[in-house]
């Protein structure tokens, strides 16, 4: 996973699980601060590489209420290994377990219902390659048809992982929202923030009418994807995550 840097994270521990929980709680708070949460209805999770269990918030909290110590650890069968839950989060567990099972390369899964994300998830044409934000996902964005939340939880999870496929790290959940993944949490955050901006741009640009939009040639879009990926060396998203942390006062931090 990511090489953790206590100096940057301002942590007193290099314990991998503690670093993971601190990072996850910070991601919840960063999304809350940006207004990208949806009360208690979406979820972020992360796991230590290779583990058949992951950390997630207990259903019922707002993103802004999440702290490292409030996170719970859940195995792939929905058993709570650490922490306390008050409400069983079946939908959340199905989504996260299925993707982790299918994709050993993924250690973080973020799912949101932002207005922009839900709006584009409902568009027949999907995400258009209109902006640099969107080029990050060119030919690499999966789609999952809306199948309600609780009709058939087992198959829903399997189908969701199947639709994500073996390589993609972002998916539109049609009529529902967005999901991004990463080898690290920083990478999942990176893709979620770019996907959000891409969706916002698309909604704004569509005010001109879809026939008036200018889309770059396919080869240019593909090259843009490659160039932007090459620009991000090593741990994708760490630079941006560290920058967010530098300007964010996390409520659980001791006042200095
Ligand atoms: Zn959802």
Tokens of 52: 């058949």
Q: Which stretches within 59-184 are classed as H helix?
A: 90-102, 115-121, 132-135, 153-164
- Rounded distance from Cα 144 to ligand 1 centre (Å): 12
pTM: 0.93
- Rounded distance from Cα 113 to ligand 1 centre (Å): 6
- Rounded distance from Cα 118 to ligand 1 centre (Å): 10
pLDDT tens for residues 153-165? 667 678 889 999 9
Domain boundaries, the chain: 10-246
- Rounded distance from Cα 48 to ligand 1 centre (Å): 23
pLDDT tens for residues 195-243? 999 999 999 999 999 999 999 999 999 999 999 988 888 789 999 999 9
pLDDT tens for residues 49-68? 999 999 999 999 999 999 99
Assign domain 10-246 to its CATH superfamily: Class II aldolase/adducin N-terminal domain (3.40.225.10)
- Rounded distance from Cα 37 to ligand 1 centre (Å): 11
- Rounded distance from Cα 87 to ligand 1 centre (Å): 16
pLDDT tens for residues 162-200? 999 999 999 999 999 999 999 999 999 999 999 999 999
Tokens of 89: 């989060």
- Separation CA 236–CA 232 (nearest Å): 6
- Rounded distance from Cα 227 to ligand 1 centre (Å): 32
- Rounded distance from Cα 108 to ligand 1 centre (Å): 16
């Amino acid at each position: 996973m990511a090489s953790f840097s206590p100096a940057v994270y301002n942590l007193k521990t290099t314990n991998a699980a503690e670093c993971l929980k601190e990072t996850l709680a910070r991601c919840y708070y960063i999304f809350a601060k940006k207004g990208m949460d949806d009360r208690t209805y979406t979820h972020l999770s992360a796991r230590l590489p290779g583990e058949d269990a992951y950390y997630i918030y207990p259903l019922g909290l707002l993103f802004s209420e999440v702290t490292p110590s409030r996170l719970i650890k859940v195995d792939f069968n929905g058993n709570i290994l650490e922490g306390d839950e008050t409400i069983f989060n079946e939908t959340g567990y199905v989504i996260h377990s299925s993707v982790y099972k299918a994709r050993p390369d993924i250690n973080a899964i973020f799912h949101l219902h932002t207005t922009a994300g839900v709006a584009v998830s409902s568009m027949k044409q999907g995400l258009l390659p209109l902006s640099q934000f969107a080029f990050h996902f060119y030919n690499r964005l999966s789609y999952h048809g809306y199948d309600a939340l609780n009709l058939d939880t087992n198959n829903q999870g399997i189908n969701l992982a199947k639709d994500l496929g073996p390589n993609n790290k972002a998916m539109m959940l049609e009529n529902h929202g967005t999901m991004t993944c990463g080898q690290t949490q920083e990478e999942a955050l990176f893709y979620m923030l770019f996907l959000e901006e891409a969706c916002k741009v698309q909604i704004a640009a569509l005010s001109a009418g879809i026939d008036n939009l200018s889309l770059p040639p396919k080869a240019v879009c593909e090259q843009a994807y490659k160039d932007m990926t090459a620009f991000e060396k090593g741990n994708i998203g760490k630079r941006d995550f560290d920058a967010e942390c530098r300007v964010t006062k996390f409520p659980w931090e001791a006042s200095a």
